């Protein structure tokens, strides 16, 4: 709950990133990349299922936070991170157009 929008808990984050200037038609390229990346995650999860891995027991170091996480924790964190981006996009569209 603490990592999903809307946020009540204030957590210090990395340095804010400024969006690069892009043309509207680049949107589809970015969307294709997002869909491709999510497809790779789904394929990997399906492979974990075939291998019958216990995703709560397999642990590794998170490349950003530098502490060990289970695959389940990593996937949940990744999902929450993507939800944050979609939430930010909705809020930006609402501010710019009054519509979502």
Q: Which two tokens stand for residue 9?
A: 């808990």
The predicted model scores a pTM of 0.68
Which stretches in the chain have pLDDT values below 50? none
Token pair 């990395």: residue: 14
Token match 């990744």: residue? 78
Residues 75 and 45 sit within 8 Å (Cβ to Cβ): yes
Q: Look at residue 19 in the predicted model and tell me its pLDDT.
A: 64
* Residue whose pair of structure tokens reads 């491709």 in the numeric block: 36
**Residue 11 confidence (pLDDT):** 60
pLDDT of amino acid 95: 85
The overall longest dimension of the chain from CA atoms, in Å, is: 47
CA 84, CA 27: separation in Å to the nearest integer?
18
pLDDT of residue 98: 80
């Amino acid at each position: 709950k603490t990592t999903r929008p809307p946020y009540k808990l204030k957590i210090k984050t990395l340095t804010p990133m400024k969006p690069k200037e892009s043309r509207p038609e680049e949107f589809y390229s970015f969307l294709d990349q997002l869909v491709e990346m999510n497809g790779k995650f789904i394929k990997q999860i399906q492979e974990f299922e075939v291998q019958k891995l216990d995703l709560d027991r397999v642990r590794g170091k998170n490349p950003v936070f530098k502490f060990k996480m289970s695959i389940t924790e990593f996937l949940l964190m990744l999902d929450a991170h993507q939800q944050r981006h979609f939430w930010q996009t909705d809020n930006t569209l609402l501010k710019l157009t009054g519509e979502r």
